[in-house]
Amino acid sequence: MSSPLPAWLRDPPRQLFFTGKGGVGKTSLACATAITLAEAGRRVLLVSTDPASNLDEMLGQPLTDAPRPIPGVPGLSALNIDPEAAAEAYRRRVLDQFGPQAGAEERATVREQLSGACTTEIAAFDEFAGLLAGGAEGFDHVIFDTAPTGHTLRLLSLPKAWTGFLEGNDRGASCLGPHSGLKMQEARFQAALRALGDAARTRIVLVTRPERSALIEAARTAAELAALGLGNQHLVVNGVFHASQPGDALAASVEALGREALAALPAALRDLPREEVPLRGFDMVGLPALRALLRPGEAPPAAPALADAPPTPELPGLDRMVAELAGKGSGLLMVMGKGGVGKTTVAAACAVGLARRGLAVHLSTTDPAAHLDLTLAGGALPGLTVDRIDPKAETARYVERIMATRGRDLDAQGRALLREDLRSPCTEEVAVFHAFSRIVAESRSAFVVLDTAPTGHTLLLMDATGAYHRQMTRHLDPQAAAAGRIVTPLMRLQDPAATHVVLVTLPETTPVSEAAALQEDLRRARIEPWAWVVNRSLLAAGTRDPLLRQRLAGERQQFERLRGGLARRLFVLPWQASPPVGMPALEALVA
């Protein structure tokens, strides 16, 4: 293996686990690491646990849930854990526990219990646990590319939740199946957590960017991982930029922001082994780009020439988008996209812009990482209400409501069993969905701006919405539904007059492809995105720095791609010399 190697690749254990905030480059670094190890003669398996995985596009190879060799890299195979396929396999395993005496009705009831998004999440984790427990035989190294931080931590915390839930609980059933059968999984989940915490077997690579919000999120992740007993962490700061063109104000500000963010490194990160990876001038798509990421001397992929002429006609900014929305008077604005693309900034700026126009606005988030407080910096405006769907608070509220209704006429033993059943990890999903439904209902008479979680988590929430819709409409009087007396959350999301979905992306190949995939998923649910926002555009800001101008060529391609039919409406937000944090900065984006 050639030298010098980055710190996390020196004497690597069998398993490397890449995690961090969405959009920081986990997949790029995981792919580059896998290629480096494979080209040093190792047999390597690269695994994505992200429901919104884009490994296929980056490696240029269609993937399935079984290891598939990557052409051009002998020794490297890759797979995507398919959440739907994993969920179906999980359902079959649970149903197989029933003996021949179980009737069709009982089996149908259990299959219905196993139809929720929580089952999908548990099933995907079960596949992941199997790989950690030694299921990847024949490979020297297994590289895990994880989902965005909030989703990953939720998965990692499940073994402890399961342990508490299953202790002494042999009776009943939840949306994951019969409790007696679930105990079979407990040992496997505990073994997975032990493998992650064993430094001799696993190295956790915590990826971040030289940005204040990303570093704060990385510090939170590091602390939460340590609390789970996972202290074997390495910090990688990806995309560190050094300006080379004197007098270029934009390049100087990009470098200064990164330098200042790293100088204020949170305490939880200071003692971790740390490595910096420089910003490269090309998209991380294809084997040549991925090879060059960790090899500064390697020739990068050839970039198309950037002419001095403007790359595209002028595109409208967020001010135009807010003005168009304000004319509607009320409605639901859902801001969606991959983690790390700036959804929170766009959602907060839109909410501020609408409130400044005298409209009542409720700004909320379903993101477990909850970045709204950081973006708003404690600011307030007349007419603007800000909160978040807090999973723990919503779960406690939901449990007490169930105990007061379903548990009201039960005896002491029955109430104890009901409360025990509500300790299921799935109760949180149901509680969050009820909170989401309440917020959707508010948009009939005011503006509701919803900053959603990273894409994979959002799709799980949308799936819960669909399951609720099917449950409600299954026994409805068709005439009542046709008369409009019944409106489920999904029906409101499907109504283009009531809901406006805005997809946020960065002007790079992978974020645009992921947003396009999300758009297709939404269309399958008969939800049509209203607009796209391209955030952090250097092209719109302008620069003379050679490395940044190399990136501009890629940006131009993405704008042409979007204007070629991907986006019905397209708005742009230029790269900001200062992070748009606080009311004055947010107002400036939509003024």
Is residue 481 classed exposed, middle or buried when 0-12, 13-18 and 19+ CB atoms within 10 A define those classes?
middle
> Pick the catalytic residue: 21, 26, 338, 343?
26
For residue 28, indicate whether it is catalytic. yes
Choosing from 28, 202, 344, 366, the catalytic residue is 28
Q: Indicate the helix (H) or strand (E) that contains 545.
A: none
The helix (run of H) or strand (run of E) holding residue 305 is none
Instruction: List, in sequence order, every residue forming a beta bridge with 204; answer none if it has no partner.
Output: 17, 233
How many other C-beta atoms are found inside a 10 Å radius of the C-beta of residue 553? 18
Kindly name the residue from 23, 116, 281, 342 that is annotated as catalytic. 23
Which residue among the candidates 365, 395, 510, 537 is catalytic per the annotation?
510
Residue 451: active-site member:
no
By residue count, the chain amounts to 591
Which entry of 25, 258, 339, 340 is annotated as an active-site residue?
A: 25
- The type of residue at 348 is A
**Helix pair 117-130, 455-474: axis angle to 10 deg:** 140
Specify whether 64 is catalytic: no
Distances 503 to 247, 343, 482, 556 between C-alpha atoms, Å: 35, 8, 31, 19
Q: Is 50 a catalytic residue?
A: yes
Please choose, from the candidates 450, 448, 443, 517, the residue with its C-alpha nearest in 3D space to the C-alpha of residue 487. Answer: 443
Q: How far apart are CA 87 and CA 78, in angstroms?
A: 20
* Alpha-carbon 188 to chain mean position: 25
Residue 26 annotated among the catalytic residues of the structure:
yes
Does 25 qualify as catalytic in the annotation? yes
Residue type at position 57: E
Q: Where are the beta strands (DSSP E) in 306-348?
A: 331-336
In sign, the C-alpha dihedral spanning 20, 536, 440, 530 is negative
- Region of 85 (left: φ > 0; alpha: ψ -120 to 50; beta: rest) is alpha
What is the Cα–Cα distance from 317 to 534, expressed in whole angstroms?
A: 9
Q: How many beta carbons lie within 10 A of that of residue 260, not counting itself?
A: 11
Residue 305 CB-density burial (10 A; 0-12 exposed, 13-18 middle, 19+ buried): exposed
d(C-alpha 551, C-alpha 306), whole Å: 9
Q: Parallel, antiparallel, or unpaired for β 531-537 and 499-505?
A: parallel
Please enumerate in sequence order all residues whose Cβ is within 8 A of that of 356, keeping only pairs 6 or more positions apart, or say none.
381, 587, 590
Q: Which strands sit side by side in the sheet containing 44-48, from one edge to the other? A: 68-69, 76-80, 44-48, 141-145, 15-20, 202-208, 233-240, 274-278
Report the DSSP beta bridge partners of residue 336: 503
Selecting among 19, 27, 174, 513, the annotated active-site residue is 27
Catalytic center residues: 23, 25-28, 50, 510
